[in-house]
Every structure is written in C-alpha cells, then in structure tokens.
Amino acid sequence: MKNFDFDLFVIGGGSGGVRAARMAAQRGARVALAEVAAMGGTCVNVGCIPKKLYSYAAHYAEAFEESHGFGWTGAAPVFDWARLKTNRALEISRLNGVYLQLLQGSGVQIIEGWATLADAHTVEVEGSRYTAKHILIATGGRPSLPEVQGRELVITSDQIFDIDPFPARLLVVGGGYIACEFASIFNGLGAQVTQLYRGAQVLRGFDAEVRAFVAAEMVKTGVDLRLHADVAAIRQAADGLLVQLQDGSSTTVDAVLYATGRLPNVAGLGLENAGVPLTAQGAIEVNAHYQTAVPSIYALGDVTARIQLTPVALGEAMVVVDHLFGAAAGKKPRRMSYDFIPTAVFTHPNIGTVGYSEADARKEFGKVSIYRSEFKALKHTLSGSTERTLMKLVVDDASDRVVGLHMVGADAGEVVQGFAVAMKAGATKAIFDSTIGIHPTAAEEFVTMREPVKEPARAP
C-alpha cells in the first residue's frame, strides 16, 4: 500500500473547504489545505459577510428619515464611505484570522499558494509536490463577465466593496440576486442607481409574484430599473463612463458594476492532468458522495454549480467527511437533501423564500392552493414609508403540505428560517392554522391566512 503525505488534501480555503479540512482533522486524518488568497473564500471576503454589512449600512439613511414619525428630530447624519470600508476590512481581517485559528487548532497544515493537480493523488503548490489518498476541490466560483466593448472599464462584485471614490452614479448590469442586492445597497447609501436587465423581470427562478413585487418596491425607493435593456459599449468620457445601450440611448455614470452571474472556478487547476471531467456548464461533475469520475478526487460547493449557497457547501463538506472518515462518535453519517433549502435576498426590502414557487408547485403537484397577504407593516403606520410587505403560501391540495413559503419585507430571512424547519418536517396548512401567532409581528401573518386567493397569481 502506497504511503501518502496526507489522508486528505483540500484545494480552496472557502467555507466548504475549511469545514471539510477541519472536521476531517478532528477525526484523526492527516489534512493539508492550500489557499492562494485570504482565508474564508468568497463568502467571508467578497460575498455574504461584507454584503450584509453594507446592507445594514444602507438601511440607516431610511431609518433616520423614518425616525421623525416616532418623535426624533435633528439633522440627518453624513455618510462616511471611507469609514465603512475601513471598519468592514477590519472585521473581515478578524474573520480571516478566526478561520486560520480553527484550521491550525485542528491540526490542519496550511499551504499558501496556487494548487494544481499533477495526477489523481498528487498536488503541486508553488513548485512543491504533495501526495494524498484523497483530494477535495473546493475552489468556489468567480464572477462572469461577458464580452462587451469597454469591459476593461467595468468592475465586478469582487471589486465593488473597495471602490474609490464612492460612485455618485452607479450602473448595475444584471438581474440576479447579486445585481439586485447591490442596486438596493448603493441606492440606500446615496448613489443614483440605474439597473439594466435584458430579461422581462429580475430574479429569474424566484416566484413570479415575488419578482414583480420586489421590483416595484425597489423602484419606489429610487432604483431606476430598466428591463429589456442591455449595454452595447462603454467608453471613458470627460465626465465619467459613457454607456451606450442597445436601444440607442446612452447614460453617463461614475462606475459600471457587472453582476451577471458566477462561474465555477476551475481554470488552472490541472483537472486534465488527473482526468477530472466537467459538465456541459463547466462545473466539476460529481456523484451523490461528491466524488468525481476519478475515485480519489472529490469536489463540493460552487465549483460543482449545484446550489451556490454557503450553508449548502458546509452541508456537503460534512457528507464528504463522514463518507471518507466515518461519522463522529454517536452520530449517523450525514446526508444532503436539496429539498426546501431556504434562502434570502438582501434587497430593500428583503426577500425570504423556501420551497416551490407557485409555477413550479403547479408543475410538481398539480392542484395547489395559494394564500397571499399584502400589507403595510405596523412600523410604517408612523414612519411615513410607503414600503409594503408580501407574504405567500403554496399548499399541495392532495397532502395539505405547505410546499412554498415566500416573503418580501423587513427581516424576511430571519422570519423564513424558522418556517423552513417546519416545512422540512412536512408541516401541513392545518398545522400552520393551529399555530398561535406572535402579536404584533409580520411573521404571524403566515399562521393567520385562512382563505386561498380566488384566482392564481399570473406571471408579470
């Protein structure tokens, strides 16, 4: 039997890679992890964490304005972009250190540098070679930037957090959750935001009614959302970036953010050296155990392009560790289910969703009942804000099971997380109906909707 340097070699120090490395080491495995950038991957450095911090920052402008209705008076404070960036960087640096401490405390050997596969059991990092019984690829994703004239002048979500100076006029290109979030964030921070999307409505894949509702709310807050629109060319002008649109019109802005999706980060990994195949979409192909066609090589997270969410990568990491090194004492091996995964979009207002959209539920279950409520939240009866909240349930008529739950409103992610547990457990509409609500909250609306809507909602 061949002696290897390590039992597991992890390529990538993002959430999934760190979790797999740390937990495998705690099971007694000899583990190494290679990372070329700051520890923590996309989520910690240029994704979930800084984005949520900036979302919090963006809410303060409206919060100060709304406070007048509750008796608070005084001049509005002045926003300091440089201070926000500095404080964010300090927090991210702290988290980078936490990740390092977790790995080192578990006995993982950290190797700095770009890692490539030399063969099925060998990884090369900065000229040094390491052998491993198992190799795990967890290199995440990267922003997708389409070919457009002037693309060298644009930025992606990786650069937006440190843009300097603050863009008084920002053009956001894209209609997915990243584009919508940054449009909301920079609009809230005081930028004049224009968002272009070539499709009929933003947030493809979400419930149609949710898509239309949040788009309307974003427009109410000041985002200039233009559908069926796209960029033809970008060039530097004396007063900013001149953006020519495909309809012949033009606009001048200070910065152009392309948020047009993310691609699996597979370039330069040497996959061909080990014979690791890719899917037609350019992702690493894996089986139910996250094993590639090469038995010794595994992959998880965004690089496999299944569901690009940090908690999903963490769950997949535990499945891999249990599969390779056995479950923790007294525990059963983990299994990963992709049903009823909750998610949030930090637009203003937020979106929280779990389960099927109305359209998908009709395809999957046939006859469904739709329960819907739209209202002004109690807070806004005094705040002066025109923001409204949408809550929606999708129920499978045959089983009475709640198979879709959607919310657009303040703290939607916080609200939906708890309901996701109930839905994962198979909660029926009758159980929802028998649950006492907490009053006065928006969340109680989910357990007080009694009558289904008469007509199914139509896509915009």
Model confidence over 169-198: pLDDT tens digits?
999 999 999 999 999 999 999 999 999 999
Kindly report the backbone phi and psi dihedral angles of residue 219, in degrees, each rounded to the nearest multiple of 5, phi listed first.
-65, -40
Alpha helix ranges (H) inside 176-306: 177-189, 208-221, 271-274
What is the average pLDDT across 422-426?
98
Check whether 457 has a pLDDT greater than 70.
Answer: no
> What is the mean pLDDT of the segment spanning 208-212?
98
Asked, colleague to colleague, whether 6-143+264-325 and 151-260 share their fold, the answer is yes
Catalytic residues: 439
Residue 1, pLDDT > 70, answer no
The span from the CA of 142 to the CA of 308, in Å, is 11
Percent of the chain surpassing pLDDT 90: 96
Rg of the chain on CA atoms, in Å? 24
Flag whether pLDDT at 430 surpasses 70.
yes
The mean per-residue pLDDT over the stretch 83-105 comes to 98
What is the per-residue burial (b if ≥16 Cβ within 10 Å, else e) of 200-226? ebbbeebbbbbbbbbbebbeebebbbb
Residue 455 has pLDDT above 60, yes or no: no
Q: What span, in angstroms and rounded, lies between the C-alpha atoms of 205 and 228?
A: 17
* Contact present, 389 and 377 (Cβ < 8 Å): yes
- The residue extents of the domains of the chain are 6-143+264-325, 151-260, 343-447
Reply yes or no on whether the pLDDT at 314 is more than 80: yes
Q: Is the pLDDT of residue 346 over 60?
A: yes
6-143+264-325 homologous superfamily? FAD/NAD(P)-binding domain (3.50.50.60)
- Mean per-residue pLDDT of the chain: 96
Tell me the two tokens of residue 146: 């389409």
* pLDDT digit string, tens, across residues 406-418: 999 999 999 999 9
Give mean pLDDT, residues 131-160: 97
Fold of the domain spanning 151-260: FAD/NAD(P)-binding domain (3.50.50)
Q: How confident is the model at residue 2 (pLDDT cuts 50, 70, 90)?
A: confident
pLDDT band at 294 (very low <50, low <70, confident <90, very high): very high
pLDDT the model gives residue 329: 81
Q: Is 306 exposed, middle or buried (0-12, 13-18, 19+ CB in 10 A)?
A: middle
Fold for 343-447, please state it: Enolase-like; domain 1 (3.30.390)
Q: Per-residue pLDDT averaged across 257-263, rounded? A: 96
> Residue 359, Cβ neighbours under 10 Å: how many?
17
